[in-house]
C-alpha cells in the first residue's frame, strides 16, 4: 500500500515539476534584464545626487567667499549673493531637468523591453 501512495504522489507532483522547468528559461532572462534596468536607475539616481551635492558645495563656497570679502559693502554683498544663488538655482534646475529626461528615457527603454518579451 505504501508503494501505491508513493507512486500516486510522485505522479501528482510530476506535472508541476515539468511546468516549472518549462517556464523557468523564459522568465530568468526577463528578471535579469529587469534587475539590470533597476541597477541602471539606481546608478542614475546616485550620479544625480553626487552632482547635486557637488553643486551645493560649490555654491556654498562662492557665497562664503563673498561673505568673507571685507572690501564689499553690505548692499554689494547682498547683490552678489543673490546673483550667485540665482546662477546656481538655474544650474540645479538644468541638472534636475537632465536627470528627469534620462530617467524618462530609461523607463521608456524598460517598457519597450517588457513589450518585446510578450
pLDDT tens series, the chain, 118 aa: 545 555 555 555 555 544 445 555 566 666 777 777 778 888 888 999 999 999 999 999 999 999 999 999 999 999 999 999 999 999 999 999 999 999 999 888 888 776 655 4
Rg of the chain (C-alpha set): 29
Residue 44: predicted pLDDT: 84
Residue 108: predicted pLDDT: 87
Q: Whole-model pTM?
A: 0.63
Does some domain include residue 12? no
Does some domain include residue 112? yes
Does some domain include residue 74? yes
Number of domains in the chain: 1
Does some domain include residue 62? yes
Does some domain include residue 90? yes
Q: Judge whether 72 and 66 are in contact, CB under 8 Å.
A: yes
Does some domain include residue 53? yes
Residue 38: predicted pLDDT: 78
Does some domain include residue 49? yes
Q: Judge whether 35 and 115 are in contact, CB under 8 Å.
A: no
Does some domain include residue 70? yes
Domain that residue 58 falls in: 26-117
Amino acid at each position: 500500500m505504501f508503494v501505491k501512495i508513493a507512486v500516486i504522489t510522485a505522479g501528482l507532483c510530476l506535472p508541476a515539476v515539468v511546468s516549472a522547468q518549462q517556464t523557468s528559461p523564459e522568465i530568468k532572462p526577463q528578471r535579469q534584464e529587469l534587475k539590470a534596468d533597476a541597477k541602471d536607475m539606481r546608478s542614475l539616481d546616485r550620479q544625480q545626487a553626487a552632482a547635486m551635492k557637488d553643486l551645493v558645495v560649490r555654491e556654498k563656497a562662492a557665497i562664503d567667499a563673498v561673505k568673507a570679502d571685507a572690501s564689499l559693502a553690505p548692499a554689494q554683498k547682498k547683490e552678489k549673493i543673490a546673483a550667485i544663488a540665482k546662477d546656481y538655482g538655474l544650474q540645479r534646475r538644468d541638472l534636475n531637468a537632465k536627470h528627469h529626461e534620462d530617467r524618462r528615457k530609461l523607463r521608456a527603454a524598460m517598457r519597450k523591453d517588457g513589450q518585446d518579451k510578450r
